[in-house]
Copies of this chain bind each other. A is one copy, B any other.
């Protein structure tokens, strides 16, 4: 099952991808029926980044980053690297040299269910990473994994070419074939939110905007 590199993967429309980035993780997650979130322990190494891109996936053994080098050759501009170790690991698979290489190919960032290092350099380079850990622990290059195969990463299924959306709220994966529908739903949601925000700012209550009072009373809520 390991030792495979899939070279040609389908990617979503770049404009749709950028549209999803603009919507952000929370909205995209809601727009696709509250699915696709990676576990909450995946956190950004610095705040403020908001990106989306096509997933180039890596399945790698614990403590071995050989496949990262292999994956970088498969990157196209606009892609995001995503690494899932085959068993739990927090070693620093990735640092400033690999980021330099990935960035030179147009890679937008890294999502990794493991560790990362050279945080200061990555921050200065504006190469955003969402990781399970920050850990300087080095890795070896002795055992094969695979590139561009389906992986489960931080409890979410990611297929190569799926769109990853990442910001300060975490990471969400959108199946490639649903990206257009999800973007449309996300924009509708955003449009509605503008209206709601105006009302809420003026002091109108959610209880009234969403007409909750009757249902609350039906359920038996008592004011004392």
Residue numbers of A with Cβ under 8 A of B are 1-7, 24-26, 29-30, 32-35, 37, 39-40, 43, 46-48, 50, 61-64, 66, 69-70, 72-73, 86-92, 95-98, 100-101, 104-105, 115, 117-120, 123, 133-138, 140-144, 150, 152, 154-157, 167-170, 172, 193, 196-197, 200-203, 205-207, 210, 212, 216, 219-224
Contacts and interface: CB of A to CB of B under 8 A. Distances in A.
* Best-surrounded residue of A26, A30, A37, A223 (most CB of chain B within 10 A): A26
B87 A91 contact: yes
Contacts of A90: 40, 87-88
A72 to B, nearest CB: 6
Contacts of A123: 47, 168
A154 to B, nearest CB: 8
A37 B137 contact: yes
Contact of A205 (B73, B118, B219): B73
A102 to B, nearest CB: 9
A135 B221 contact: no
Contacts of A100: 197, 200-201
Contacts of A155: 152, 154-155
